[in-house]
Amino acid sequence: MSRDDQALPPYPPLERRAVFSSAMADAVPILISYVDREERYRFVNRAYERWFGVDRSEIEGKTLLEVLGEAAYGRLRPHVRRALAGESVTFEGQVDYQQAGVRHIEAQYVPDFARDGEIPGYYVLVTDISDRKTAEVELGRMLAGERRRAALLDLGQTLRDEADPDAIAQTAARMLAEQLNVARAGYGEMDGDSDIADIVADDGRAESGVARLKGQRFRLEDFGPSMSADQRAGVTIVIGDVALDERTNAPEALEAYAAIGVRAFVTVSLVKAGVLASYLFVAHDAPRAFTPDEIAFVADVAELIWTARERARSDIALQRAEETERLLIREVDHRAKNVLAVVQSLAQLTPFENKDQYVQALSGRIGSLARAHSLLSTARWTGVDLHDLLQLELDPYGGDGVEQVLIDGPPVLIDAQAAQSLALVIHELATNASKYGALSRPLGRLAVIWSWGADGVLNLIWREDAGAPVTPPARRGFGSTLIESAVKQAGARVELIWRPQGLKVRLDILKGAQSRLAESAPAYRPGLAAEESPALRDQRVLIVEDEAVVAMELTRVLTEAGAKVVGPAGTIEEALDLMAGQPIDRAVLDVNLGGRSITPVAEALTGRRIPFVYLTGYQEPDVDGGPILRKPVAASALLGALARGLPPAAGQVLPR
């Protein structure tokens, strides 16, 4: 007898093998079970208890239908039948379990062949792959977005040399229909101030069987009683099914949609100088849910069409647009290809230890790129403020009223080429600090301070005080490699110094940074306490915002800054009533309230020389008279704009 055999319990060999098999089945995280011909569970491992929240004794002996529920059983029944017929089956898909919820699974069904050839049952192995699928979907969404941006770039290059305005719209409609795989896309131009639209372009799938609309004229109100008003207000209209939406399901409107073969559509209105000039639409011949990314893509194409058509109609406009477009195309070309390459590289290079770790690490790095992209987009790719970049990355680690993070330094602009690389460096340092360093403990402190050296180099110091002894890492991780690569791309030098009290990083930015005019903004600390915005203390600030959650957040931020909030007002009339009944010192104005322009409120504030800022989701709002902040806005940016606000000139005329 071997030494190993002597160490085993005194079970017969077959019984010992059964004990080991059961123990091994209980040790793995996947579901393992045996089901007999009556579709009853004869054995389930311990993972079933974690999935369904009951002891396995309550599962064994019950049927599949009783345990899984009708929805899950109906989904899996075909595979069960095939397994009992002697076929090995592999299945992947979403299953809605009655006690375990919706899971994306990978299941293997293996028939149990007896010696006489009969099949008394089958084995099942089920793996939950929901996290992996979520990561794949998110990565696929981002890659699809990059492909659309590349298509937008190609379209801009194609339209640049096109002299015929209608051909511009037709080319764009064809690209849009192909990219979104819809039945048709088209462009309508309004006939003066009337409700009549001339369709100047229409393209799509030839197999849709519906005659093209180019050259036809339509009355907007024929497609729903609110269509004309919404489009004139610049509202983007999204209808997933005309038969189910109350804006379009009137009998007369349904007849109009049926005549042109439309069941779902998106319409982006182009309101110029307060007047509906034209609109771009994409339409499908079956119900369809359009994603926010698709809607944003249609809006981008609409603006590109408008710019290209205006350029083609005017030689002077052509000269201005060509120069601007050339610069934009070069930058967008670089950005689209660079971001796509960076995302793909991060997906490949991020180490995979387990699903949760991989999804969290990859999502964090992609999120850092996205935040830097948003700052660059807001600044029209001129660069980003270093203070804003640090604030955006470190905001999640501010704690509950505890000033753990200090950010201080002179106003510095980081150029577009270096901004995203620097954002990745900050993200990796912040992630490390939140896991192991100063931001992982309530008593920890982080200071990020920068200054200009005599040689014109920007010296940034990242200093952590963890509140407890810190042990340097035993091995070099992927984060360190990523920091060194990103620092090199940003044209900088980095030195990591592991001190007993925490990490100290010296980052010398050799190029891509420049001074900017100083602003009266205090050093940033998370939380934005009242004493940090003295200019707003006891100021009566009117909030005009029709989104309840946004209004609540604005109220919180201003209250914490020491201001006294008036409102919020959700309509123009309510805002004017509040102004008439009490003194107002400053105001925050949403540009669009339920499809109506905020101009009447802005004019009233201008007449009383009350400073205000606009808050909007539009990229190019038709407003003037105050600073424009785009949603979502950082709290510090909002408070800074309000604190610096100057009263508008009396009698200033605002565009309608």
Does any domain span residue 585?
A: yes
pLDDT, one tens digit per residue, over 294-320 is 998 999 999 999 988 888 887 555 565
Does any domain span residue 424?
A: yes
Domain count, the chain: 4
Does any domain span residue 365?
A: no
Does any domain span residue 597?
A: yes
Last residue of a domain, one of 72, 101, 128: 128
Mean pLDDT computed over 382-404: 72
Which region among 48-57, 113-122, 527-536, 603-612 has the lowest average model confidence (pLDDT)? Answer: 527-536
**Strand-by-strand arrangement of the 217-219 sheet:** 217-219, 196-204, 184-190, 275-284, 264-272, 237-239
For β-strands 612-616 and 628-630, DSSP reports them as parallel
Here the CATH number for the domain that contains residue 308 is 3.30.450.40
Residues 536 and 511 in one domain: no
Domain interval for residue 436: 382-515
Tokens of 303: 């603006």
Here the CATH number for the domain that contains residue 403 is 3.30.565.10
Residues 536 and 483 in one domain: no
Give the pLDDT of residue 369. Answer: 63
Helix (H, G, I), strand (E, B) or coil at 78: helix
Answer whether residue 525 shows pLDDT above 50.
no
Answer whether residue 248 shows pLDDT above 90.
yes
Which region among 5-9, 55-59, 72-76 has the lowest average model confidence (pLDDT)? Answer: 5-9
Neighbours of 3 (CB within 10 A): 6
617 in Cβ contact with 646 (< 8 Å): no
Does any domain span residue 520?
A: no
Residues 53 and 179 in one domain: no
What DSSP state is assigned to residue 654? P
pLDDT, one tens digit per residue, over 61-87 is 999 999 999 999 999 999 999 999 999
Does any domain span residue 105?
A: yes
Neighbours of 26 (CB within 10 A): 14
130 in Cβ contact with 274 (< 8 Å): no
Answer whether residue 154 shows pLDDT above 80.
yes
Burial label for 112, CB within 10 Å (0-12, 13-18, 19+), is: middle
Handedness of CA 512, 517, 522, 526 (dihedral sign): negative
Give the pLDDT of residue 443. Answer: 84
Residues 445 and 489 in one domain: yes
Q: Which residue has the tokens 């996290």?
A: 131
Does any domain span residue 13?
A: yes
Residues 173 and 303 in one domain: yes
Tokens of 639: 């408070």
Residue 241, C-beta contacts closer than 8 angstroms, at least 6 positions apart: 263, 264, 287
Burial label for 328, CB within 10 Å (0-12, 13-18, 19+), is: middle
Answer whether residue 473 shows pLDDT above 60.
yes
Last residue of a domain, one of 128, 147, 176: 128
Burial label for 94, CB within 10 Å (0-12, 13-18, 19+), is: exposed
Answer whether residue 348 shows pLDDT above 80.
no
pLDDT bucket at 460, cuts 50 / 70 / 90: very high
Tokens of 482: 């990523």
Tokens of 132: 């992996």
Q: One-letter amino acid identity for 20?
A: F
Residues 177 and 242 in one domain: yes
Residues 258 and 232 in one domain: yes
Residues 168 and 118 in one domain: no
Residues 477 and 554 in one domain: no
Residues 60 and 198 in one domain: no
Residues 185 and 300 in one domain: yes
Is the N-terminal amide bond of 410 cis, ω within 30° of 0? no
CA dihedral 42, 47, 52, 55 (to 10 degrees): 60
Residues 396 and 508 in one domain: yes
Tell which wins on pLDDT, 400 or 593.
Answer: 593
Mean pLDDT computed over 597-615: 88
Considering 105-119, 402-416, 604-618, the range whose residues carry the highest mean pLDDT is: 105-119
Here the CATH number for the domain that contains residue 551 is 3.40.50.2300
Give the pLDDT of residue 557. Answer: 84
Give the pLDDT of residue 627. Answer: 77
Here the CATH number for the domain that contains residue 33 is 3.30.450.20
Does any domain span residue 522?
A: no
> How many percent of the chain have pLDDT more than 70?
77
Helix (H, G, I), strand (E, B) or coil at 199: strand
Q: What is the pTM of this model?
A: 0.38
Between CA 389 and CA 420 the distance in angstroms is 9
Give the pLDDT of residue 551. Answer: 83
Tell which wins on pLDDT, 329 or 290.
Answer: 290
543 in Cβ contact with 561 (< 8 Å): no
Last residue of a domain, one of 515, 546, 567: 515
Between CA 268 and CA 265 the distance in angstroms is 10
